Structure 1
Amino acid sequence: MKPFAVITLILLISGFSDVTAQPVTEAPLKETITQLDRTYFEAYNSCNIEKQAEMYAEDIEFYHDKGGLTTSKQDLLDSLKKNICGKVTRELVEGSIEVYPISEYGAVEIGFHKFHNNEEPDAISEPGKFIIIWKKTEATWNITRVISLH
């Protein structure tokens, strides 16, 4: 039997043939992360760079499928100010947020959102997937990693 066939057989026997992640059922954590998402994107949509800066960790890693990797908080904020402010708004796809706890760190948020070009109000916006890693400190939650896929 070929190695791939053996692995497939093992997965079928062990019940892992249809494994999918399940969203966390811890309502308080999901409510917290959903509120943080709302707060951040209200700042994003209103060009409140100070609030966005407050919510990003100093060691931010922002992965964008089209723009690449940004690891400088200041470069990210400068890019948002230059390319997003007044030009783009974000809309969450309702009901799409999933939240998973990360023990002794924080949480992972996964969801879908749309971005609207304010200069082309009739343009159709397709949902894109996003992943945000939130770190919980004693005083606050911060965004440490973002993966933005369009």
Structure 2
Amino acid sequence: MSWRVGLLIAIAGGVLGADEALAQTVAPVPASDEQGVRCADDAFWRAFNACDAAAMADYFTEDVEFYQDLTGLTRTRSAVVASLIKGPCGTPGLHLRGES
């Protein structure tokens, strides 16, 4: 068998195996987990729209990284919260909402 035939067999096997791996089902998320995430999401957006820096900070890890197309990369919890307070919270009448 030539190396080309061997390569084709290896590629075909990889492609067929990939189909099987992609076809696996994902376990459903328990309703309690989903409800917890939805509650946390709602609480974050309430804090965001109230410009409550301390409450917003609770939802970020210390090593958070946030990229915004106008301001670029912001790193750390305190820097991200300060950016949100200066930016969106500094815009009178702005009200954002999360969608799920």
TM-score by length of structure 2 reads 0.67
* Paired residues of 2:53 and 2:85 also in contact (CA < 8 A): yes
Percent identity of the aligned residues? 22
Q: Specify the alignment match of 2:47 in structure 1.
A: 43
- Which entry has the higher C-alpha Rg, 1 or 2? 2
Q: CA deviation at 1:89?
A: 2.9
What is the count of residue pairs matched by the alignment?
90
Q: What letter is aligned with 2:56? A: Q
Please state whether the residue corresponding to 2:51 is helix, strand or coil: coil
Q: Does 1:8 align with 2:12?
A: no
Q: Pick the structure with more strand per residue.
A: 1
Q: CA separation in 1, counterparts of 2:60 and 2:22?
A: 38
Alpha-carbon distance change, 77 to 2 in structure 1, aligned in 2, over 3 angstroms: same
Q: CA separation in 2, counterparts of 1:18 and 1:65?
A: 35
* Paired residues of 1:47 and 1:86 also in contact (CA < 8 A): no
Unaligned runs of at least 5 residues, structure 2: 1-7
Please, which of 60, 63, 67 is the counterpart of residue 60 of structure 1?
Answer: 63
Q: Specify the alignment match of 2:97 in structure 1.
A: 91
Q: Pick the structure with more helix per residue.
A: 2
Please state whether the residue corresponding to 1:63 is helix, strand or coil: strand
Unaligned runs of at least 5 residues, structure 1: 97-150
Alpha-carbon distance change, 80 to 36 in structure 1, aligned in 2, over 3 angstroms: same
Q: CA separation in 1, counterparts of 2:9 and 2:73?
A: 39
Describe the superposition over 1:6-31 as per-residue Cα deviations: whole angstroms up to 9, x where unpaired.
3102233xx2344575651x111111
Q: CA separation in 2, counterparts of 1:3 and 1:81?
A: 55
Please, which of 53, 68, 75 is the counterpart of residue 71 of structure 1?
Answer: 75
TM-score by length of structure 1 reads 0.48
Alpha-carbon distance change, 17 to 28 in structure 1, aligned in 2, over 3 angstroms: closer
Backbone CA RMSD of aligned residues: 2.6
